[in-house]
Structure 1
Amino acid sequence: MKQLSKEQQIRILLIEDDLMVQEVNRMFVEKVKGFTVVGVAANGKEGREKVKELQPDLVLLDIYMPKEDGLQAISELRQEQLDVDIIAVTAANDTLTVKKLLRYGVVDYIVKPFTFERLKQALDQYKEMYDKLRKTDKISQDKLDEVMQQKEQSKQGELPKGLHSVTLKQILDFLQQIDCPKSAEEIGSEVGLARVTVRRYLNYLESTKKVEMELTYGTIGRPIQLYRLIKSDNEVRS
């Protein structure tokens, strides 16, 4: 992870093949204090060349791209030992892709469609961590523990007791991929969780206005609760 000077803004390179999404991402990034976009690229190969040319601090990298996809680009960047951090953006929420991204050392990964708020959270967390790390050339175990715990707390947020950020993200990622509402049982079947567990998370998400619930009636007249994600007006989708 890269050490930043105290004076400079955090310099970001956008690697995204969709020009419209590229421009939305630029606007999102430049709304966050302390960050600036220094360049854009339309595929992994061009992106790697821009990393060498522009030497950004952070790359916002799409995974599915022509010519050279994001996973291949990350692999090449790591082999070349280029000093750059990466936030991955992907339409995939499968475990294999996530594991590969984590092994390549991405500082965060964001599943499409995503909102400005989710990107801002990732950027703010990145900046907060590096504001602490760049104040000293050496770091004690206690200080390192503080930084890592703060990173985890940022991910965890203020969740009620018994709820976990990883499970919450798993359910949210699934809801982002569907167009029609699903029951807790259907969601649980898809993500591999018990219905009662999913229901607890859905109740929390409903209370925080992240999902909405609607009632329908089955063939024998029993009410079924269906849930869908409340879409934000400022979502990045493609």
Structure 2
Amino acid sequence: MIKVLIVEDDPMVAQINKKYSESIENFTVIKICKDGKEAFSYIKENNVDLVILDIYMPKLNGVDLLKKMRKNQILTDVIAVTAAQNVEKVDQVFKYGVVDYLIKPFEYKRFKEALDKFMLKYKLLHEKTIVEQKDLDKITNIKNKNSKTQLKKGLNIRTLNRIRSCIECYKQTSFTNDDIAEKLKLSRITIRRYMEYMVSIQELKSEIEYGPIGRPKNIYVKGE
């Protein structure tokens, strides 16, 4: 379970961010802090995987909190969530190593994309002992998954990304067409079309499993 700390001085926004975070599988909010000073005290004493951080706050603002974290070798990943659109401020925040930067007001879809991006990085860097170039390309989005030119006729990018997100968060390394169809409440025929496409672009691998009775079935494995 990914432990999330929300740092936000607006109670309503903090609760929205909490609701959004916990609606995504494998994320749990362990604490909400109203300013950077409170957040720094908490981070020093507790294990936190991800900080969702507002920039403009009393006592210790988001940028100063980031500086203090890095100065004290606290390398926890951070997603900045703020109304700040100043180019200099955005550049400064990225230089302190934030995973993503969301400008208020934002939609749930964009928030989920930020957490999905973090989860991809987290899994790649925590589940492997050796990282290959193709792994780093996934983290840095070198390969643009949203490119419509990659899609076969009749496939929809939103459906494809829903399936990708489901697979990325799926606990087992192998799964069937039926497993994903049940999770997403979509037809098996629809899921099969998309998963065969993902096999064709090497995002998944497909193996055939022969049971003692009945027809053989395809088992899908996450691409390396």
TM-score (norm: length of structure 2): 0.62
- Report deviation, 1:151: 2.9
Q: Are the structure 2 counterparts of residues 59 and 98 from structure 1 closer, same or farther at C-alpha, using a change threshold of 3 Å?
A: same
* SS of 1:67 mapped into structure 2: coil
* SS of 1:106 mapped into structure 2: coil
Deviations 1:131-168 (A, max 9, x none): 122122333xxx1x22332234389552468xxxxxxx
Correspondence for 1:118 among 102, 107, 110: 110
**Is the Cα contact below 8 Å between 2:85 and 2:103 reproduced in 1?**
yes
Select the structure with the greater relative contact order (CA < 8 A; seq sep ≥ 6). Answer: 1
Alpha-carbon distance in structure 2 between the residues aligned to 1:110 and 1:98: 10
Work out whether 1:33 is the aligned partner of 2:25: yes
Alpha-carbon distance in structure 2 between the residues aligned to 1:95 and 1:156: 25
Correspondence for 2:41 among 49, 72, 75: 49
| Residue aligning to 2:135 | 147
Alpha-carbon distance in structure 2 between the residues aligned to 1:70 and 1:78: 12
| Residue aligning to 1:176 | none
Deviations 1:173-194 (A, max 9, x none): xxxxxxxxxxxxxxxxxxxxxx
CA RMSD of superposed structures (Å): 1.8
Unaligned 5+ residue runs, structure 2? 150-224
* SS of 1:114 mapped into structure 2: coil
Work out whether 1:69 is the aligned partner of 2:57: no
- Report deviation, 1:101: 1.0
Alpha-carbon distance in structure 1 between the residues aligned to 2:28 and 2:12: 18
> What amino acid is the match of 1:124?
D
- Report deviation, 1:115: 1.3
- Report deviation, 1:69: 0.7
The number of residues matched between the two structures is: 149
Which runs of at least 4 in structure 1 moved beyond 4 Å after TM superposition? 154-157
| Residue aligning to 1:133 | 125
Alpha-carbon distance in structure 2 between the residues aligned to 1:136 and 1:81: 23
Alpha-carbon distance in structure 2 between the residues aligned to 1:137 and 1:68: 37
Alpha-carbon distance in structure 2 between the residues aligned to 1:155 and 1:39: 35
Work out whether 1:18 is the aligned partner of 2:10: yes
**Is the Cα contact below 8 Å between 2:137 and 2:143 reproduced in 1?**
no
Q: Are the structure 2 counterparts of residues 137 and 153 from structure 1 closer, same or farther at C-alpha, using a change threshold of 3 Å?
A: closer
Q: Are the structure 2 counterparts of residues 160 and 97 from structure 1 closer, same or farther at C-alpha, using a change threshold of 3 Å?
A: farther
The answer to which of 81-90 and 150-159 deviates more is 150-159
**Is the Cα contact below 8 Å between 1:17 and 1:43 reproduced in 2?**
yes
Q: Are the structure 2 counterparts of residues 138 and 150 from structure 1 closer, same or farther at C-alpha, using a change threshold of 3 Å?
A: closer
**Is the Cα contact below 8 Å between 1:125 and 1:154 reproduced in 2?**
no
Unaligned 5+ residue runs, structure 1? 1-8, 162-238
Correspondence for 1:101 among 93, 98, 103: 93
Q: Are the structure 2 counterparts of residues 134 and 41 from structure 1 closer, same or farther at C-alpha, using a change threshold of 3 Å?
A: same
